Amino acid sequence: KDVSAAELLGKTDVICCDKTGVFTRNKMVLSKIFDGKKLIGVETEPLDETASMVLKLATACSTLENDSTENAIEKACLAYNSMSKQDINNMFPHITEVPFDSERKTMTVITMINERPFAIVKGAPETVIPNCINCKGEEILKLNEDLASDAYRIICIAMRPLSGIPANPTADDMEKDLAFVGLLGLNDPPRDGVIEEIAACDAAGIKTVMITGDNLNTAKSVARRIGILKDGTEAVTGAELNEMTDD
């Protein structure tokens, strides 16, 4: 109804939007757990003890408020393990943490397990797996890419025992020599009507660009599903974008 807004839209050539909550519903749901040996569809298969522990450790390493990924992990733990976040905190007492950092794409929580301090690491598989020892890293990363290509957001969980409680834990000290625990596959479905809205923008000559911090394969799968990524278009990473010139 605003004339100035209508004039601005008429001059628009490109619209750039964040993926979560604009193109998708911002209702992340846990769908898959890989425990190092088998992949489980949590909505159709019961969790065995190993998969259940993967989810418990992931919940223990969830500390952010109002984060869709961590909220989904905590809801899944309540649904499939009958354990709330507080129940998990009682099982694995939280001591301290190394906060999430978008550059390294990981975070670490220091907790007590059987009266011994452990570091639980959660983050992007491509960042965590290279710091794991005695695991089939190439196979796990291949599974990560396969799941990402199906539009899943993949979270990797790993851990290591500590000789003592660190006074000032750092990522360099805590996030190395890790034991692989598992992968979580989360799904955030496209928002109702978004495909038609993108098609209307295309018809009006407006290019739609999706921005996300997801794995490139996850981003490409979502973009293809909603009609943004088509033949003749491409997806680029932030690093590739930084290397580009204005020309």
- Please identify every residue annotated as catalytic: 18
Residue 89 and residue 60 in contact, taking contact as beta carbons nearer than 8 Å: yes
- State the residue for tokens 């009507």: 193
- For residues 59 and 94, the answer to whether their CB atoms sit within 8 Å is no
CA angle 214, 227, 148 (to 5 degrees): 30
Classify 127 as helix, strand or coil.
Answer: helix
- Distance from C-alpha of 189 to C-alpha of 187, rounded to nearest angstrom: 6
**119 near 108, Cβ under 8 Å?**
yes
Q: Contact at 8 Å (CB) between 74 and 55?
A: no
